[in-house]
Structure 1
Amino acid sequence: MRTLHTTGPRVRTTAGPLPCAAVRGPALAHEHLVLDLDLRGDGAAVLDAHRHGDQVTGELAELHAEFGLSLVVELSCRGMGRDPRALARIAERTGVAVVPATGWYYEPFHPAGLDGASVEELTATLLAEARDGLDGTGIRPGVLGEVGSHGDTPSAPEARVLRAAARAARETGLSVATHAQLGRGGLAQLDLLTGEGLPAHRVAVGHQDLLDDPAVHRELARSGAYVAFDTVGKESYQSDDVRLRLLLELLEAGHADRALLSCDISRHGYLRTEGGQGYGHLFRSFLPRLRAAGADDDLVDLLTRRNPLRFLTGASTEEI
C-alpha cells in the first residue's frame, strides 16, 4: 500500500504541491531543462524542448534510476526561454519532480520595457504569476529565480528586480535563488533582499563556487543564507579541484547546513549525448571525491536533499 504524505512542508512542482516527506532521493538545486539565452545567435546557450527534450529526459530518467534523483529546481525564469508545459512533460516522463520559477535574470537578458518598470509593478507581475500560473498554463512557480546581477553592485534595473523578488517572496512564502555573475556581488544581493524584510534563510546566493573567497562564503552562511556551489563540472569557469577545496572549507567552518550543490546545465553542449558532463556529473564525479575527503552518507543527504528542501520551504532542520 502506498504511503500518503498529507502533512508537513511542501514544495510547489509542475504537478502541484509535493510533500517534502515524499522526496526520498537527492535534488539538483539549480538546473535548466529548457532554456534560450542565445544573445550571440550561435545556438550554443540553448536547451530547446523539441531538439533537446529527449536528451534531457533521458539523462534525468537515468539519474532517477541510478541515484534516486527525486527533484530538480529549474531556474529558467522570464526572458530565459522558460517553458512550463515542457517542464511538466519532462517531470511526468522521468518520475523526477520539477520546481518551476519566475523572476528576471541579470540585466543583459532583461526583456524590453523592464528598465522603466517600478518595483511595485514588477512585484505585481510576480504575484500574479504566483497566483495564476506561468504563461497562461496554471502551473504555479515554486521559487523566485534565478534573479540576477553582475559585478560587485547590482545595476539600478537589477536592484529593482531583486527588491521585487524579495517583496513577492514575503507575500507568497516562496524563496529567492540568485544569479551572481561569476560569483561576484552576493553580499550586495543579500543586503537588498534582506533590506526588503526577506529572512536570509529564504535566499540562496548563486554561483559561489566561481568565487575563490572563503571569507565571503562564511559571511553569507553566518547570515543564514544558502551558499550555492551550483556550477559543478563547469571546468572552463572553475576547476572542480578548487570547488572541492572551497566546499570543504565551508564545511569545516561549520556551515554544512547552508550549502547547496548542482551543475547548472545551461547549454546543449553540456549534455552527455553531446560530449558534456551532463546533469549527473555531481553524482558520478564530484560526490565520490567529496566522500573520499571524508563525507559520510548523512552529510551527502544533507547537502543534496535536506538543504534544498529547507531552502525551498523555509522549514527547520527538525522538519526535514
Structure 2
Amino acid sequence: MATTPHPLPERLLRTVTGPLSVEAVRGPALAHEHLVLDLDLKGDGAAVLDARRHGPAIRSELAGLRDAFGLALVIELTCRGMGRDPDALVRAARETGVAVVAATGWYYEPFHPAEDLANASVAQLADILVREIDEGLGGTGVRPGVLGEIGSHGETPSEPEARSLRAAARAAVARDLSVVTHAQLGHGGAAQLGLLTKEGLAPQRICVGHQDLLAEPALHRRLAEEGAYIAFDTVGKESYQSDEVRLRLLLALLEAGYADRVLLSCDISRHGYLMSEGGQGYGHLFRSFLPALRAAGVDEDLIDLMTRRNPLRFLTGASPEEI
C-alpha cells in the first residue's frame, strides 16, 4: 500500500504587521537594511535616517523597487541603541506593500546602551531579548523576527560584545529565530560564529555580516563550509570597497559551490545614501550589481536563490526541500 507523504510544515515569517507565510514572498528580499537609524556619534547628523525627515523618501524608494523589481521583503536590522522606531517600520510596510522583518539585540560596543549592558549577565540579557520577542519592541507589540545586527569589532569581540552575542544566541535558540552579526569592516566573523554555536545555535541560523568588506576568499569558504550564511551586504558602498572587488569575491564563493550560503543587500545607513539625496539607494543591488552578476554568467536561478530563497531559509530555518 502506498503511503501518503507527510506535508511539510508551514513556515512563517514574523513581520512587523504579523505572521507571513514564506509562500507569499514571491519576489526578492534585501537581507540587511535600515529604514530608521541614529548612529550619530560625531554629531554631524550624517549617520541618521529619521522617520519624519527621511521616511517619505525611504517609502518612495521601497514602493518603486516593489513595482520595478518585485521587492517583497526587507530585513531591517536597527536594534537597541541604534535609534529604532517600530511604528515607522509598520508604516513603511503598510504604505509600500513590502514586508518588513524587525530585529532586536545589541550593535557593537560604542553603541551599547549602558543601562542594558553595564552589569547584566548573559542570562539577564537573554531574558531581555526573549521578552521583546514575545511582547514586542519597547512595549509596542511589534514583534521582531530576527536577532541583529549583533556587533563586534576587531578579530575578537570585547567582553560586553561577547555577552551580547551569547545572549542573542540563547534567545534565538529559545524562540527559534536566527542571528545576523555586524563584523566591523568584515573582521571577527570566525570568532562570532564560534561564540554563537557554543551556545547551541545551529550554523545555518547564523549570518556573518559585512564579509564583502574583507578580501579573504579562504575565510568566506571556511565560514560557508561550517554552515553559516555569508553576507555581501554593503553593495554599492564604494568608499569602503569597490563593487568590482565585491563581484570578484562573490564569484569566487559561487565557483566554490556556496551559492546557497550567500545573502545580499546594500546596508543603507546614512541619509546621504538615499536616492533623493543623490546616493545609490536601496535599489543599487537590483540596478547595478545583479546585472553585473548576470553579465559574468550567473543565471536567474542562482539570482533567485541568493535574493529570495536564501533569506527565507535563513529566517525560518527551512530546508531546501521546503523553499
How many Å apart are 1:285 and its aligned residue? 0.1
**2:193 aligned to which of 182, 187, 190:** 190
Counterpart in 2 of 1:3?
A: none
Partners of 2:300 and 2:217 lie apart in 1 by: 24
Counterpart in 1 of 2:156?
A: 153
Counterpart in 1 of 2:3?
A: none
Counterpart in 1 of 2:5?
A: none
The amino acid that maps onto 1:34 is V
Give deviations 1:95-149, integer Å, cap 9, x for gaps.
0000000000000000013132110110000000011000111011000000000
**1:261 aligned to which of 264, 276, 280:** 264
Give deviations 1:144-188, integer Å, cap 9, x for gaps.
000000000000000000000000000000100000000000000
Give deviations 1:58-84, integer Å, cap 9, x for gaps.
000000000000000000000000101
Q: How many residues align?
A: 315
How many Å apart are 1:7 and its aligned residue? 5.9
Do the aligned residues in 2 keep the contact of 1:7 with 1:19 (CA within 8 Å)? no
CA RMSD of aligned residues (A): 0.9
Do the aligned residues in 2 keep the contact of 1:147 with 1:176 (CA within 8 Å)? yes
Alignment of 1:69-108 (within 5 A): 69-108=71-110
3-state SS of 1:241 partner: helix
Q: TM-score, normalised by structure 1?
A: 0.98
Partners of 1:16 and 1:218 lie apart in 2 by: 36
Alignment of 1:142-291 (within 5 A): 142-291=145-294
**1:121 aligned to which of 124, 136, 139:** 124
Is 1:47 aligned with 2:15?
Answer: no
Partners of 1:106 and 1:176 lie apart in 2 by: 14
The amino acid that maps onto 2:83 is G
| Gapped regions of structure 2 (runs ≥ 5) | 1-7
| Gapped regions of structure 1 (runs ≥ 5) | 1-5
Partners of 2:153 and 2:124 lie apart in 1 by: 22
Q: Find runs of 4+ consecutive structure 1 residues off by over 6 angstroms.
A: none
The amino acid that maps onto 2:61 is E
Partners of 1:115 and 1:152 lie apart in 2 by: 22
Is 1:134 aligned with 2:137?
Answer: yes
Partners of 2:189 and 2:23 lie apart in 1 by: 31
Counterpart in 1 of 2:33?
A: 31
Partners of 1:90 and 1:131 lie apart in 2 by: 22
Q: TM-score, normalised by structure 2?
A: 0.97
3-state SS of 1:116 partner: coil
